[in-house]
Structure 1
Amino acid sequence: MDVLELARWQFAITTVYHFFFVPITIGMSMLVAWFHTSWLRTRNPDDLRLAKFFGKLFTINFALGLVTGIVQEFQFGMNWSDYSRFVGDIFGAPLAFEALLAFFLESTFLGLWIFGWGRIPEKLHVMCIWLVHIGTVLSAYFILAANSFMQHPVGYRYNAETGRAEMTDFVAVLLNKVQLVTFPHVVTAAYMTGATFVMCVALYKMRKAHRNADSGGGELAADVPMWKRASRLGAIVTLVASLGVIVSGDFQGKIMTEVQPMKMAAAEALYHTSDSCAPFSVLTVADLGGANPKHVIEVPCLLSYLGTGDFNGRVEGITELEAQYQQEYANNPLTAASTYIPNIPMTYWNFRLMMGAGFFTMIVAAWVLWATRKNNVPMGTWVHPLLWITPIAIMLGSSFGWIFTEMGRQPWLVFGEMTTATGVSPSVSAASVWISMIVYTLLYGVLAVIEVKLFLDYIKKGPEPFEEPRQIGEDEKLEFAY
């Protein structure tokens, strides 16, 4: 493989791996803040125990996400220097806001929340975890603003003398129409992911506590109502967030059809323009390159509605768009490409896997609400594997969506302005990329083992017994509570 392929593989591996942690961090921070707030309002001991228990899991995930996220910006300068030079003036502002505002907000107030039990007033203490959550959301906003520029560049002018894109309107970059639909879609998906983890962990602990009750076990039997509340809250948030994902995804599809018609066409394997009533293919069979599709299952006119809001709307096809792009971009060194068609199987199937994982999680959440009604505790042997499969499914669903977003943009780094092939570092050798990719992959493998082991250990251990928070004296040492 040449440097371009290796650089793309390395960025794909590290970015997808990092994105495993992001939705969990955003979603769980909100639920931890919810439990802590509920404790402050009701003084229910269960809420305090849940806040601390899920706070530990959130902290573990936050730490791993922080470590893996640092590598992303490092790669911009190492493997994609020409790209960094081109978009540096644009990316500098949102990435600086993300680091100086959002990240410092997260890390500072997370530290205050962890160490602040009994040291700061309770209302200020609960505000700390809400500020952590706000920081995670702001971080997502600024990162997505930078990514949305790559999907639909706005608020800039191209300086031919320097070969750089120069920012002319920072507000336009922040309020990019792609950003305004992508951000709610990503955040609601993150809420769905975090809530799914809470739902499944709580249901697992509830089953274990109920089993102890049936066998005359110890004090865990008294925790069944606590875990039931947590699992049902997780299920409710999952379902409510899923509605947000669906609605925002519908808006996102219409914006995508407007600004990136090739991505929409690739997502549906639509090779020829449909002037009206374009069908949505649920299942398509084609050759390995994605050509010659045969729509096995399709819904008439649905694609036209998803793309335009009109069941008779016009949706452009891959073949016609390829001819248009060849005529429009082929004569510019920065935008010339052998083909402007993305990998059809990757875009088509990642789009469907993303939706499939989301709908599967919705079904499980609805089942949890039904199965835990009144005094019911689902104890079937088939439930246990479901509690493993569901969090993995929703986590992979988020990753499938991210892969679709980035693969569907190809061959562009910045749509209409710079192709991926022109952004790679000219002085980096294939050997150096191989070495760094192997090191990162092995390191990430070790971190994955650490993350899973810590998660399982703390889940198995469960929450600490309730203890009324007390004010810590000035002379007492400040110790890490976890």
Structure 2
Amino acid sequence: MEVLELARWQFGITTVYHFLMVPLTIGLSILVAGMQTAWVRTGNERYLKMTKFWGKLLLVNFAMGVVTGIVQEFQFGMNWSAYSRFVGDVFGAPLAMEGLVAFFVESTFLGLWIFGWDRLSKRVHLACVWAFSLATVASAYFILAANSWMQHPVGVEFVDGKPTMNSIWAVLTNNTALAAIPHTIAGTFSVAAAFLVGIAAWRLWRKRKEADEDRKVWRSSLKLGTWVGVVAFGVLAITGDMQGKLMFEQQPMKMAAAEALCHTEKPASFSILAVGDVANADCESVKTFTVPALLSFLAHNDFSTEVKGVEDLVGQYQEQYGTNYPDDPALGELAGKPIDYVPNLPVTYWGFRTMIGFGALSAGIGVLALWLTRRDRIPNTKWFPRMTLLGIALPFIANSAGWIFTEMGRQPFVVVPNPTGVDGVWMFTAQAVSNVTTGEVWTSLISLTLLYAVLGVVEVFLMVKYVRGGIEGVMPPKKPDRDDGGDEGKSDDDALAFAY
């Protein structure tokens, strides 16, 4: 393998792995904050138990997210130094905001929340969990603003061969970012919802023959997860439609690749399923089941818009951005070679459908689980807990497929040209890689992959341990009643019963 291919594999593996933790942290933190709010307002112990149980799992996931996320920024210097030099003036501001504002707020208030039980007043402690939770959303905002600039460069001018930012406001309010942010946040709620549904349904099934006093906790969690999942999927559909229209304007090749649309159509049909090899740009051997004119509507809100196919777009891109890579020794074997403007069609086509299909299936499993457990019923069959537990994986896969589609669909660019932006503000992925050897990249790739595998085993072990422990594993032992009925009967060590 060449350095470029190895570097892309490494970044793909570490980023997708990290992104398994991110959506669960964001979505679950907001839900836990809502649970604690319900407890403070009502005094109902059920909500306290929900807060502590789901909060415990949140902390495990957050810790793993921090560890795996640190590597991402190191990789910009390790394998993508040329890219870092090109985008550094733009990326510096949003990444600094993410680190200095969002992450510091997350860390500070998370620590106060963990160790503030029975030390802070209820309302101050509640404010800590909301500060931490909203900071995770702010963190996602800044990261997505940076990523969206790669998809649609704005707010810059071209100075001495590099983009120089002239408006941070334009970068932060990029229309690509404003569409991606609600879509991504809805995806995080979808992940958290499936997590609640799967575990709560399994706990209910385990206690189906017992008069467990905590069954109300699991029923409330299941109901919350179901409704959050349904609403999240609705938001995903709406924001996904917004992104599709922007993609039609900003990255037409990505839209064509998502549909394996090899030839221009007017009106264009939406492909539901393809039979055959979609890897070839001529699509001669592919048969698809389609919805007539739907792709035209998704692209431009009408049923007659022309959508260009891959073959026509290749000629357009060659005319605008050249037919061959620069004859630069830094490009290695690609120096002077023809540029392939067609993304990996099987990855983009099937990734797009995996994202939509698995997201819908996840919401459907939640609705089915809620229906099967109505009126205090709990199915006796083993397929019920298996279905809901397997359902946890679906939105994780859908989120990962969506990100892979987004990043792979913009190839061969690492910074995509803005059709109406500043000339020259774009960069081929082949130009972005560092001047390193294949041995060096192999070493870091193998090391990080093995390390992440170990971390994955640790996280699964901890998650399983605390899920099996149930409510008893997170609530402090009950103390004898005191005549004064106050909080003085609680030991200072109770706060640590919730920490690690």
Q: Partners in 1 of 2:397 and 2:487 — Cα distance? A: 42
Instruction: Give matches, 1:144-163, under 5 Å.
Output: 144-159=144-159, 161=160, 163=161
CA RMSD, 1 decimal: 2.0
In structure 2, the residue matched to 1:310 is 302
Q: Partners in 1 of 2:194 and 2:490 — Cα distance? A: 39
Instruction: Give matches, 1:35-46, under 5 Å.
Output: 35-46=35-46
Q: Partners in 2 of 1:431 and 1:101 — Cα distance? A: 37
Q: Which amino acid aligns with 1:77?
A: G
Q: For 1:423-454, what per-residue CA distance to the aligned partner results, in whole angstroms no more than 9, with x for missing partners?
A: 0012x111010000100000000000000000
Q: Partners in 2 of 1:261 and 1:328 — Cα distance? A: 14
Q: Partners in 1 of 2:242 and 2:201 — Cα distance? A: 34
Q: Partners in 1 of 2:127 and 2:189 — Cα distance? A: 19
In structure 2, the residue matched to 1:284 is 274
2:188 to 190, 200, 203: 190
In structure 1, the residue matched to 2:340 is 339
- 8 Å CA contact 2:278, 2:345 repeated in 1: no
In structure 2, the residue matched to 1:360 is 361
- 8 Å CA contact 2:112, 2:128 repeated in 1: yes
In structure 1, the residue matched to 2:450 is 442
Q: Partners in 2 of 1:341 and 1:126 — Cα distance? A: 51
2:163 to 162, 165, 174: 165
Partner secondary structure for residue 200 of structure 1: helix
Distance 1:227 1:473, change over 3 A: closer
- 8 Å CA contact 2:198, 2:385 repeated in 1: no
Instruction: Give matches, 1:140-289, under 5 Å.
Output: 140-159=140-159, 161=160, 163-213=161-211, 221-274=212-265, 276-287=266-277, 289=279
Q: Partners in 2 of 1:470 and 1:176 — Cα distance? A: 50
Distance 1:475 1:381, change over 3 A: closer
- 8 Å CA contact 1:23, 1:189 repeated in 2: yes
- 8 Å CA contact 2:102, 2:136 repeated in 1: yes
- 8 Å CA contact 1:272, 1:317 repeated in 2: yes
Q: CA deviation at 1:272?
A: 1.6
Q: CA deviation at 1:387?
A: 2.0
Q: 4+ residue stretches of structure 1 with deviation over 2 A?
A: 285-296, 331-337, 464-482
- 8 Å CA contact 1:269, 1:290 repeated in 2: no
Deviates more, 1:463-472 or 1:247-256: 463-472
Distance 1:147 1:366, change over 3 A: same
Percent same amino acid at aligned positions? Answer: 48
Q: Which amino acid aligns with 1:310?
A: D
In structure 1, the residue matched to 2:434 is 425
Q: Partners in 2 of 1:81 and 1:387 — Cα distance? A: 44
In structure 1, the residue matched to 2:98 is 98
In structure 1, the residue matched to 2:381 is 380
TM-score by length of 1: 0.94
Q: CA deviation at 1:372?
A: 2.1
In structure 1, the residue matched to 2:422 is none
**Aligned: 1:300 with 2:300:** no
Q: For 1:125-179, what per-residue CA distance to the aligned partner results, in whole angstroms no more than 9, with x for missing partners?
A: 01111111101101110000000010000001122x3x32110111000011110
Number of matched pairs: 471
Instruction: Give matches, 1:389-408, under 5 Å.
Output: 389-408=390-409
Deviates more, 1:332-341 or 1:17-26: 332-341
Q: Partners in 1 of 2:262 and 2:143 — Cα distance? A: 33
Partner secondary structure for residue 199 of structure 2: helix
Distance 1:477 1:281, change over 3 A: closer
Q: CA deviation at 1:379?
A: 2.8
Deviates more, 1:296-305 or 1:3-12: 296-305
**Aligned: 1:325 with 2:342:** no
Q: Partners in 2 of 1:315 and 1:288 — Cα distance? A: 18
In structure 1, the residue matched to 2:483 is none
Q: CA deviation at 1:384?
A: 2.0
Partner secondary structure for residue 374 of structure 1: helix
Partner secondary structure for residue 291 of structure 1: coil
Partner secondary structure for residue 270 of structure 1: coil
Q: Partners in 1 of 2:24 and 2:280 — Cα distance? A: 33
Deviates more, 1:327-336 or 1:379-388: 327-336
Q: Which amino acid aligns with 1:237?
A: V
**Aligned: 1:68 with 2:68:** yes
Partner secondary structure for residue 245 of structure 2: helix
In structure 1, the residue matched to 2:119 is 119
Q: Partners in 1 of 2:262 and 2:191 — Cα distance? A: 34
- 8 Å CA contact 1:232, 1:372 repeated in 2: no
Unaligned segments of structure 1, at least 5 residues = 214-220
Partner secondary structure for residue 305 of structure 2: coil
Q: Which amino acid aligns with 1:391?
A: I
Q: Which amino acid aligns with 1:423?
A: A
Q: Partners in 1 of 2:489 and 2:404 — Cα distance? A: 48
Q: CA deviation at 1:377?
A: 1.7
Q: Partners in 1 of 2:444 and 2:383 — Cα distance? A: 42
Q: CA deviation at 1:376?
A: 1.7
Q: Partners in 2 of 1:262 and 1:38 — Cα distance? A: 48
Q: CA deviation at 1:421?
A: 0.1
Q: For 1:162-199, what per-residue CA distance to the aligned partner results, in whole angstroms no more than 9, with x for missing partners?
A: x3211011100001111010000000010111111011
Instruction: Give matches, 1:128-147, under 5 Å.
Output: 128-147=128-147
Partner secondary structure for residue 290 of structure 2: strand
Unaligned segments of structure 2, at least 5 residues = 418-425, 480-485
Q: Partners in 1 of 2:278 and 2:230 — Cα distance? A: 36
Q: CA deviation at 1:476?
A: 7.2
- 8 Å CA contact 1:277, 1:311 repeated in 2: yes
Q: CA deviation at 1:289?
A: 2.5
Q: CA deviation at 1:355?
A: 0.7
Q: Partners in 2 of 1:480 and 1:152 — Cα distance? A: 48
Q: Partners in 1 of 2:281 and 2:412 — Cα distance? A: 18
